Amino acid sequence: MSIPYLDPNSIWFPDPGDALKEPNGLIAAGGSLSTEWLLQAYRQGIFPWYEEGQPILWWSPDPRLILLPGDFRVSKSLRKLARKHVYEISFDKNFSGVLNGCKHGYRKLEGTWITNDIAVAYTNLHLQGIAHSVEVWSSSSLVGGLYGIAVGKVFFGESMFSKVDNASKLALFYLTLHLKEWGFEFIDCQVHSNHLESLGALEIPRCEFMKKLEALTEGKPNNEEWQVDQRINASFNKYYE
């Protein structure tokens, strides 16, 4: 079964229900990585995922992995690490550093999926206040983090990395606490991984995921730089007891 090749001059995606079962969720090739294309894709439950030298490949897996902000599982080791305040957490302070950390420290399929074009596209989204990063610092060194895009009440997670134990988990922990306070409904984790499942993520059918997106991604992105909310920081103690 073939997939459609998208004209970059006309924004259009096939129905996600037509995605191929094998490989899981491949729906189309071609198109563009412009802001307009990417926002349309995410609102339809579709994301780009391909390697250097390939055309842009678009995916909509079934089932879909999501994480409800209130369901994040805080292990004893992570609770102990957070209580010590060994690391500093920031939002949107070094997006390029986080993206590069993910590019060189994490792989999907058999190769690095953060191509040069992907890096440029998501950096543009960040400059427009749509893509956001969470940074974990040890003194002045970036030792972990994650990035993704926010549309409506959904955060679409893209990638995370760690140079020290538990750094990416700590970034995700802080993110979930803020997203819960800000009224976000869930984080899209895209495809299943044992690591994310151990942190509280769960799989839901694509049809259920699409219904959630339709209601939660309406309107324009906020286009604002994120900041760590010190009021939320002050309430963290309840997680460390």
Q: Which of 3-17, 94-108, 169-183 has the lowest mean pLDDT?
A: 94-108
pLDDT confidence of residue 38: 98
Place of tokens 């206040």: 129
Q: Is pLDDT larger for residue 193 or for residue 223?
A: 193
| Length of the chain, in residues | 241
For 93-137, what is each residue's pLDDT tens digit? 999 999 999 998 754 444 468 999 999 999 999 999 999 999 999
Q: How confident is the model at residue 235 (pLDDT cuts 50, 70, 90)?
A: low
- At the topology level of CATH, where does 64-240 sit? Aminopeptidase (3.40.630)
Per domain, the residue ranges of the chain are 5-59, 64-240
Q: Is the pTM of this model over 0.85?
A: yes
Question: Which CATH number fits the domain 5-59, given the four candidates 3.30.70.3550, 3.40.50.720, 3.40.50.300, 3.40.30.10?
Answer: 3.30.70.3550
Q: What is the mean pLDDT of residues 177-186?
A: 95
pLDDT confidence of residue 104: 87
pLDDT confidence of residue 161: 95
